[in-house]
Structures are given as structure tokens and as C-alpha cells.
Amino acid sequence: MGSKILIVEDQFVEANDLKIILERAGHEVTGIAKSYDHACVILGRVRPDIVLLDIYLKGKLTGIDLATLLSSENIPFIYLSANSNESVLEAAKVTRPWGFLVKPFRAKDVLVALDIAEYRHNNQVEIFHKQENLLTNILGGLLLDQSNVQTKLLKVAQAFKPYVPFDFLFIDVDMDSGDLDSLVCLKRTSFDEYVTSSGYQIIEEMGLNYDFYLDWRRRNSTLQNILLQNLEQMVESCKTDPFLTIMKDQSGAQARIIVPCSTEAGIRMSVRFYSKEPHIYTVEHLDLLNPLRTLLCLVIDNIRRQSVKGALEYGKPKTGVTSRVPQPEGIVGNSPKLLRALDQATQVANFDMTVLVLGETGVGKEGLVKAIHQMSNRNRKPLIKVNCAAIPALLIESELFGHEKGSFTGAYDRRIGKFEQAQGGTIFLDEIGEIPLDIQTKLLRVLQEKELERIGGRTTIKIDVRVIVATNRDLHRDIADGRFRMDLFYRINVFPILMPPLRDRKEDIPLLTDYFLHQHAADSGTEVKRLAPNILQQLTNYSWPGNIRELLHVIERNVVLSPTNIISRIELPDDVLPAEPNDELSNDTFRTIEEVDRDHIILALRKCNGRVSGKGGAAEILNIPATTLNSKMKKLGISWKFLY
């Protein structure tokens, strides 16, 4: 059965060609719109399953403006454009499309894009329903839970943590009460650890006047609908909301969701999520919270009735620690960006959909992949890792899919490929952006059909494998440059997780340093060495272009070099940079081509703080592949301590 499709395209010939392609394939075209306004009229009459959307339309509003409306209505859309330059892609990808077709396109391209969009949309719908069912079961269980009040509050925080991210969770069980012990704040301090404070402790810590806060609380109890605000809306609200200004300035809150509740008796309550991330909340969070609101109100009222006689009197702030979902082994830190990535890993672990892990070299992508596998229901089966950048182009097909004996010169035996080796488990394709285009086509078929053929084989082999991929490349740019297939990108970009660079989580450097010092001592059987106080500040001030891997190597090197158990001096890469290249030629000497190349590469590396590949890396500046740059560096003897 075909899908109902709306075409938004201001060129008649192209729109008509699309209509013919779609109707021949059994789809129903609900209309052809030439402008934003025309599309809105058609959308008012019939809701399509998907929209094919040109970026440039007649009138003042563009397809990107219409995409915002479609996202709010949860209608999937695929962009159509004759212009695939970087600025267009950057503006378009912010709206999170389900696909992107560059004109001119073939009928096959259109139908494949529709299949991928349907696949991604169905997976997101599945995620949403499973999340809603899971939270419904947890909240329903809390109504029968005989635990004390603080344990129930922690369970509420734990339930929402993977799905509605927060750094502060305020639960107010009676907003009209003059007793601030009916208000509790849970401050998240690590993966599954919270510090709880009563309302009296909150106003004391923030230096607030009791009457001022009580008045603010009562005025805000009149809110009827769920309120979602990211940074821009928060800043606007701060103009008339002094408490919100204090939350923003003192606690670093930059976004919030408020869920108002009330009992049949008219007692007004609320659950308030605050995040330090400026643009973290989306319409999907509203879609998740709205159907759960009634049940959440019952849970909060249950806690209110249980706490009527001082059960929320905390004294000093307490920390509630649970082991329901322990922090994955080997992943160290409690910065908001890292916790967000871990929450997403927890959320997706038991779904079989493809996960795309993004991040620079050395940020710990492989550790996150191991965590997803260990938390999944496939953890008793193998996790097979493939570094696509390390396999020669001529061998990668055989490495991934296997080959039969005699299928090519040198194929003396049958080879079982990595996908078959991962049967029932997980395959991790690291640096997927390095796969050649012809192999990308075959990989797309394997992902779509869940079957493969060995090279030289005649038998189709069904596979049951969970696929996780990772890259440090900007795949959108690679698509624009023709180096990566757009259909493959949208097939793997079902559930992206960004691992933050170390420069964006510097508060984790002390924890990581301590972890590496203890790890080295355990491995070497020696006493744990310590850092002098000024050294930690030196580490925090450094930009870490090589990320966590660079920090590890710096710590290991200086542990070995330090003659005492206190490391009082540490040698950072900035202290050992090569001499500045000399751009001036002497009167009687010319430099060789190799010398010129060497100095040119060093200048590019300096500009990028030593980063070779990825966005903003030296390879990008020099407009050459990262593999080529690495080869040149090796040939020219460019070896810096901070390049890994």
C-alpha cells in the first residue's frame, strides 16, 4: 500500500515528473503546492504521510520555513534542491529532514529516499511509543510503591533522565503552600547520582528572600499548559521573572520545561526540568510529556499525601545514589554534555536501530559503543569492531562481507566476513566516512535487506546484526562534495549521538586525570602518583586537540618522566612545538620542494592546534584527504608529541 505524499515544488515540469514517478510506484499524491501558503492550505485539508519539499519556493517564505511547521506537526519531509552547497545544507540540516534529494534525480533515487524516510520515521515512532509505555509502567508502579518519599523522588528523576534531559529537577507538591518543605530540587551530579535540597535550602543557597520566593511560587501556580523554553525564550522570560534570572545566572540554566499539575481538589503542583544546554528541548519532549501528564500528577499527589507530616524535611542536602543503571565502565566524567551522550546510549541500547556516533578523534567514541552493546539485550553475543580507515580499499569488501575460495587471486580459502562474525550481536563500523563509494552502495543494500552475499558466492545469507557506526568527518560536507552517498547517510543517521570534545567538558579533566593515574599504577604495580595543584590548572587551560587520547598519553609520559611521586612539572605539546618555518629565502639558497611542503604542513597544523582530520582539521585546510596528509607527515618526518 502506497503513501500519501504532498509535493511542494514551484517548477511545474519537475513537480509533474515527481507525480508520475510516485503514482507509477503506487503512491497517492495529495496535491502540488508552489508556495508556503499554498502548502498550508493543502495541509489543512489532508495530512500527508510525507512531504517532498523544495527549498526555494515562490513568495517570501522558503521550504526551510515550511519544514519548521512540518516538524511541529511530526510530518516527515524530504528536501528537494538543485543547490547542494554547504550553506544550504547547513541551514537545511538544522530542521532535521528525513532525506535530501539533489536535482536532477532519477526515479530510483526518489523511491529509495522514500523508503529510507519511512524506515527512519517508523523507527522514531517505535522509539516514542516504547518510551511512553516504559514511563507509563514506571509511573504506574510508583503509585503502588511503598518506598519512602526521597526514594520515590529519586525514582521519578531516574525515570525521566534518559528521555527528558535535565541538570535540575524541581518537584513542587503544593505550590500554594507557605511551607517550602513541600518543594524539592534534585540536582544531577553524575550519571545516576543526585543531591536533593528542600525549598528552604534552595532559597538559602540562592540568597533569596522568603516572601519574594513564596510570592513567585504562588503566581506561577496558575500555569495551565506545559511550557517549553530554550535559550531565546528563557532570555525573554528573564525580563519579567527575577527567579528565572537567578537560575540562569547562578546555576547556569539555559532551557526549561514546566509541567503543571493539579488534583481534583484544586491543589496545584508542578514538575520543572532545567538544563544547562541552550537548545536541548524539542517538540518531541512535549509529545512525550503530554500523554503522561495525568499519571505524573497522580504520582506527585501520592508523594504529597505521603509527605504531609514533615516527610520532606531533609536537614542537610542528601545524595541519593542508585545502581539501577551504573555508569558504563571506562567512561569517566559528569559534565552535562557527557551525561547527555550517556543518557542517549541508555535510551537506545535495547533498540535494534542503527546508531551514528559522532565526534572528533580521541573523544571516546569506541567506549560509548561498548557501553551501548553491554547495556543491550545482545550483550551475550559478540561485538565486532572494524576500523574502515585502516583497511585498504581493495580489501574492505572481503573484510566486511567475506569471500568464497577462488573468488579472486589470492583467495585460497573461504573467509567469513565481519557481518557474519557479528551474527546475533553488534558490528561497529568505525570511520565509516572512509569507505569507498562503490562499497557504500553494497553496505546500503546490506542495511536495507538484512542480507549479504560473499564475494564469489551464490547464496544469500540472512544476518541478524545491530549496526553502530562512527565518524569524525563532517558527512554533510562529504555528501556535498560527492564523497558519501546521501541515501546511506540517512540510513545510518537514525539515532545520532554526539560525543563532546574534551575542550567542551573541561570540568571532567580532574576526574579523567585521577582515573589515568590510578590505571597506570594498577597496570605497572607501582604507587599512585599525584599532580601538584598548579599542574591541574595547566591541564585545564590547555585546548586538547587530541582530546582524551592525548590527555592519556600526556599523563602516561609524565608519570614515567617524574622522579618522585608528586608530578611537579608536566610537558604539554605547546612547550615542544617545532621551530617556526622560515618563509624567507637566503640570497644563495633555495629550499627543496620537500622543505616547502614540510613548512606548509606545519603551518596548517599550527593553525588547527595539531588536528589532522575532521572539521577544522589541517587536511580540510589543505584540501587533501586525511590519509594523504598522514602519509606526507610520515614521509617528511613531521612527528609532534600531541599528534596521535
Picking from 606, 607, 595, the residue whose alpha carbon sits closest to that of residue 632 is 595
CA dist., res. 521 & res. 567, Å (int): 14
Buried b (16+ CB within 10 A) or exposed e, 285-317: bbebbeebeebbbbbbbbbbebbeeeebebeee
How is 203-255 classified by DSSP, letter by letter?
A: HHHHT--HHHHHHHHHHHTT--S-EEE-HHHHHHHHTT-HHHHHHHHHH---E
CA dist., res. 379 & res. 370, Å (int): 9
Where does the chain hold its CATH 1.10.10 domain(s)? 577-644
Where does the chain hold its CATH 1.10.8.60 domain(s)? 502-576
Task: List the chain residues with pLDDT less than 50.
Answer: 310-311, 313-323, 575-589, 640-644
Give the global pTM. 0.76
- Residues 577-644, CATH architecture: Orthogonal Bundle (1.10)
Picking from 547, 513, 542, the residue whose alpha carbon sits closest to that of residue 530 is 513
- Long-range interactions of 210-213: CB distance < 8 A, separation 24+: 210/180, 212/242, 213/180, 213/243
pLDDT value, residue 629: 79
Give the Cβ contact number of residue 590 at 10 Å: 9
CA dist., res. 356 & res. 354, Å (int): 7
Picking from 598, 541, 534, 599, the residue whose alpha carbon sits closest to that of residue 574 is 541
Maximum Cα interatomic distance, the chain, rounded to a whole number of Å: 95
Whether domain 336-498 has CATH 3.30.360.10: the reply is no
pLDDT value, residue 119: 81
3-state secondary structure of 566: strand
Q: Is the dihedral of CA 240, 246, 247, 249 positive or negative?
A: positive
Query: pLDDT of 302-352, one tens digit each?
Result: 998 887 654 454 434 444 444 455 678 879 999 989 999 999 999 899 888
**Burial status of residue 355 (CB atoms within 10 A of its CB: 0-12, 13-18, 19 or more):** buried
Where does the chain hold its CATH 3.40.50.300 domain(s)? 336-498
3-state secondary structure of 483: coil
3-state secondary structure of 280: coil
Query: CATH number of 4-124: 3.10.20.30, 3.40.50.2300, 3.40.50.300, 3.90.1150.10?
Result: 3.40.50.2300
Where does the chain hold its CATH 3.30.450.40 domain(s)? 145-321
Tell me the C-alpha to C-alpha distance, in Å, between residue 446 and each of 99, 397, 416, 419, 436.
Answer: 19, 12, 15, 9, 15
- Residues 502-576, CATH architecture: Orthogonal Bundle (1.10)
pLDDT value, residue 187: 93
Where does the chain hold its CATH 3.40.50.2300 domain(s)? 4-124
pLDDT value, residue 130: 87
pLDDT value, residue 508: 94
145-321: CATH homologous superfamily? GAF domain (3.30.450.40)
pLDDT value, residue 591: 58
Is residue 469 within 8 A of residue 497, CB to CB? The reply is no
